[in-house]
A and B are shown apart, each in its own frame.
Chain A
Amino acid sequence: MLAYSLKRILQLIVTTLGVVTLVFFTLRLIPGDAASAMAGDTLSGEALQRLREQMGLSRPLGEQYFSYLRGLLSFKLGETITTGLSISSLLLSAIPITLTIALATITLALSIAVPLGTMAAFMAHKGYRTLDNLITGAAMLADLMPSFWTALVFLLLFSLTLGIFPASGTISLEDPRAFLMRLALPVLVLSVTQIAAMARITRTAVLEVLSEDYIRTARSMGWSELQVLFRHALKNAALPIVTIVGLSFGSLLNGTVIVEFIFTIPGIGSLLVYGINSRDYQLVQTLIVFYALIFVTVNFVTDLVYKKLDPRVQF
Chain B
Amino acid sequence: MTKMFLTLRKQHWAFPPEFHLPRLSLPHLNQKMIIALVILVPILLLTTFADWLPLQKPLQTNLRAIMQWPSHVHPFGTDRMGRDVLSRTLAGVQLSLVVGFSVAFIAMSFGLFFGTLAGLFGRAVDRAIMTVVDIFLAFPSLLLAIGLVSIVGTGLGPVVMAISLADVPRFIRLQRSLVLSLRSRAYIDAARTVNASQWWLMTRHIAPNTISPLLVAASIAAAHAILVEASLSFLGLGIMPPAPSLGNIIRDGQTYLEQAWWISTLPGVVILLIAISLHFLSDGIREALDPRARK
Contact = CB atoms under 8 A, between A and B. Distances in A.
A257 B272 contact: no
A144 B268 contact: no
Interface string A251-279: 10110011001100000000011001101
Interface string B250-283: 1001100110010011001001100110010000
A287 to B, nearest CB: 9
B53 interface: no
The residue in B138, B265, B272 that gathers the most chain A C-beta atoms within 10 A of its C-beta is B138
Contact of B271 (A26, A149, A276, A277): A149
A92 interface: no
Given A149-B268, A152-B257, A288 B151 contact: no
Given A144-B276, A146-B268, A152-B257, A15 B138 contact: yes
Interface stretch (A55-63, A235-243, A290-298): A290-298
B258 A160 contact: yes
The residue in A19, A253, A254 that gathers the most chain B C-beta atoms within 10 A of its C-beta is A254
A43 interface: no
A160 B261 CA distance: 11
Contact of B146 (A140, A146, A257): A257
Contact of A146 (B138, B151, B230, B257): B230
Interface in B206-260: 223, 227, 230-231, 234-237, 247, 250, 253-254, 257-258
A252 to B, nearest CB: 8
B147 interface: yes
Contact of B254 (A250, A262, A281, A288): A262
B142 interface: yes
Nearest to B273: A144
B81 interface: no
B139 A288 contact: yes
A258 B143 contact: no
B276 A148 contact: no
Interface in B117-176: 131, 134-136, 138-143, 146-151
B265 A146 contact: no
The residue in B140, B146, B236, B257 that gathers the most chain A C-beta atoms within 10 A of its C-beta is B140
Contacts of A284: 147, 150
Q: How large is the interface on B (under 10, 10 to 19, 20 to 34, 35 or more residues)?
A: 35 or more
Contacts of B148: 26
Contacts of B258: 156, 160
A27 B151 contact: yes
A164 interface: no
Contacts of A160: 257-258
A219 B271 CA distance: 46
Given A144-B223, A144-B276, A149-B250, A253 B146 contact: no
A261 B234 CA distance: 10
Nearest to A249: B140
Contacts of A277: 236
Contacts of B143: 253-254, 257, 272, 288, 291-292
B276 A141 contact: yes
A23 interface: yes
B235 A273 contact: yes
B58 to A, nearest CB: 20
B138 A19 contact: yes
Given A152-B268, A156-B261, A276 B146 contact: yes
Contacts, number: 116
B151 A145 contact: no
A29 B265 contact: no
A261 B235 CA distance: 8
Nearest to A161: B258
A119 B237 CA distance: 41
A254 B257 CA distance: 23
Contacts of A10: none
B249 to A, nearest CB: 11
B265 A153 contact: yes
A85 interface: no
A222 to B, nearest CB: 31
Interface in A138-189: 140-141, 144-149, 152-153, 155-156, 160
B135 A146 contact: no
Given A30-B151, A258-B235, A18 B223 contact: no
Contact of A15 (B135, B142, B254, B275): B135
Given A149-B272, A254-B143, A292-B138, A156 B265 contact: yes
Nearest to B236: A277
Contacts of A30: 151
A41 to B, nearest CB: 15
A15 B132 CA distance: 9
Nearest to A11: B134
A251 B166 CA distance: 13
A139 B229 CA distance: 23
Interface of B: 131, 134-136, 138-143, 146-151, 223, 227, 230-231, 234-237, 247, 250, 253-254, 257-258, 261, 264-265, 268, 271-272, 275-276, 279
28 contacts: A15-B134, A16-B138, A19-B135, A26-B147, A29-B151, A141-B276, A144-B272, A144-B275, A145-B268, A146-B268, A146-B271, A148-B247, A149-B272, A156-B261, A160-B257, A254-B140, A254-B141, A262-B254, A272-B143, A272-B146, A276-B146, A276-B149, A284-B147, A288-B143, A288-B147, A291-B139, A292-B138, A295-B140
Q: Which 10 A-B pairs have the closest CB atoms?
A: A149-B268, A254-B142, A250-B140, A18-B135, A144-B275, A276-B150, A253-B140, A288-B147, A292-B138, A148-B234
